[in-house]
Amino acid sequence: MPLSWNEIRSRAVEFSKRWEDETSEDAEAKAFWTEFLNVFGIDRKRVASFEEPVKKLGNKQGYIDLFWKGELLVEHKSRGKDLDKAYIQALDYFPGIKERELPKYVLVSDFARFRLYDLEDGEQHEFALRDLHKNIKCFGFIAGYQTRPIQTEDPVNIKAAELMGRLHDALKDIRNKLLVDHWELYDNSATPAILLEVKKGLNHVANHRSNHRTFRCNTLTGGVSRQYSDARYCHGAGLSCAQKNDA
């Protein structure tokens, strides 16, 4: 279960304070990203690897600083380095990544700054380490929260669904009326209570048909036996049918 946003923000504040003076990529980058993922309650070893080997264009060997397959690629630099170049370097790895493992996000950092690229939506977010807690929801995908807006359904489809629903209801009303009318035609003595029971059982009626046999119907309320040429007119929720030999 994902951590609450309050808990994540609290962890983000502590993380920012802990790393505010760090400068060396080589010495502390791995610890930095391990603790960064832990802000969201994620065990780095379960989802991502350091120094992931990959072949770049020209068959040159490259190593991704942090790679979460199918989700996130991180390129890390020492404090003050050019993040634009870091992003270009991150993209250089893409030709060597399998299609199904391509990341949805690229994150570059120099300890002091974060820049997150959402490759699917084409959005970019940049902020200082000290403001991580203010921008924490940019990383909802790490914590396990849905970050993408749910697309509104096409109005044409919504209208069509409404029309189909109305048509279904209208046909159902017509069917019910016809079947009840048939009941009244076959048995003018049908009481309102019986008619109500018939209406309740209409959904079951379609599965119990016969055009060549007669059935004896016993009303559970009155105990009166009557015969009809088709079980459709006597199989209400309050009625029971017993087959009788053809006359």
**Cα distance between residue 139 and residue 46, in whole Å:** 18
**Cα distance between residue 12 and residue 15, in whole Å:** 5
Contact 208, 241 (CB under 8 A): yes
51/123 same-domain check: yes
User: What band does 201 get if pLDDT is binned at 50, 70 and 90?
Assistant: low
Interacting residues of 96 by C-beta distance below 8 A, sequence separation 6+: 54, 55, 56, 62
Question: So what's the pLDDT on residue 221?
Answer: 39
119/55 same-domain check: yes
End residue of a domain, out of 89, 117, 143: 143
Q: Inform me whether the pLDDT recorded for 68 exceeds 80.
A: yes
Q: Inform me whether the pLDDT recorded for 237 exceeds 90.
A: no
Give a yes or no: residue 160 inside a domain.
no
**Cα distance between residue 16 and residue 36, in whole Å:** 9
Residue 226 CA: distances (Å) to CA of 93, 96, 232: 83, 81, 14
CATH code of the domain in which 113 resides: 3.90.1570
As for how many domains the chain has, the answer is: 2
Whole-prediction pTM value?
0.60
